[in-house]
Structure 1
Amino acid sequence: MENENRTDWTLPRKNLNPKTKQPYKRGRNWWIVVYPESLPENWKEIISTEPVAISPLHDKDVNADGTKKKPHYHIVFNYKGNKSFEQMDEMARVLRAPIPERVLLQSFK
């Protein structure tokens, strides 16, 4: 019997920024990394009504140690109003993705 690490996508995840160890604040811009082998078949239909930009498939990225990264897409969500981590985590779990991250856009002068 294989010991598989299975994620329960029905369980909400803790609101904690892995870099700062602080909770994410509400924000308009969020991004999620998704892996093709984990995505539901209808993933594009699921996000079709969301304000998103989807990157091309990243299948040539390399880690600092020279190993190849798993193929993935970046999905950026850009809302007119603020969304909470919990709202974005719900979307990420539907897409079977790691936790969402808030994007802080810098203004350019």
Structure 2
Amino acid sequence: MAAKLAVCSSRNHTTPCMSGVPQTIHVATRSHGAHEALLIMCSDGLGDLSPHRLDVSEVLAPQWVRAAERGERGNRALAVLRDASGGDDLEKVSRSLTVEMTSRWMDDTTVLVQRLF
């Protein structure tokens, strides 16, 4: 039993692993044209949908804020996810969700948008 546990636990310390330390970024939403204060929480899968995935504070966060503002109040998170997947370009959205490609991989993606005040 101890040997099996050692094998399984050794995998928990190899890549990929989670640090438990979230990356947090504060963006003044009003400086990007937002009319409301929004809290956008997402997994790293949302950033992975963009070629600018390493430039969260300067490129992606303002884009997410604009998408959340345009989205229907009932599901702003879906508007952010749709924008990241291709926006109004239906072919790009379809391709990113359905086409089997060896070089394309979509991480699990979670998006939560909450209006603060």
Q: Which structure has the higher relative contact order (CA within 8 Å, separation 6+)?
A: 1
Larger Rg: 2
Scaled to the shorter chain, the TM-score interval is under 0.3
TM-score (norm 2): 0.20
State the TM-score, normalizing by the size of structure 1. Answer: 0.20
**More strand, by proportion:** 1
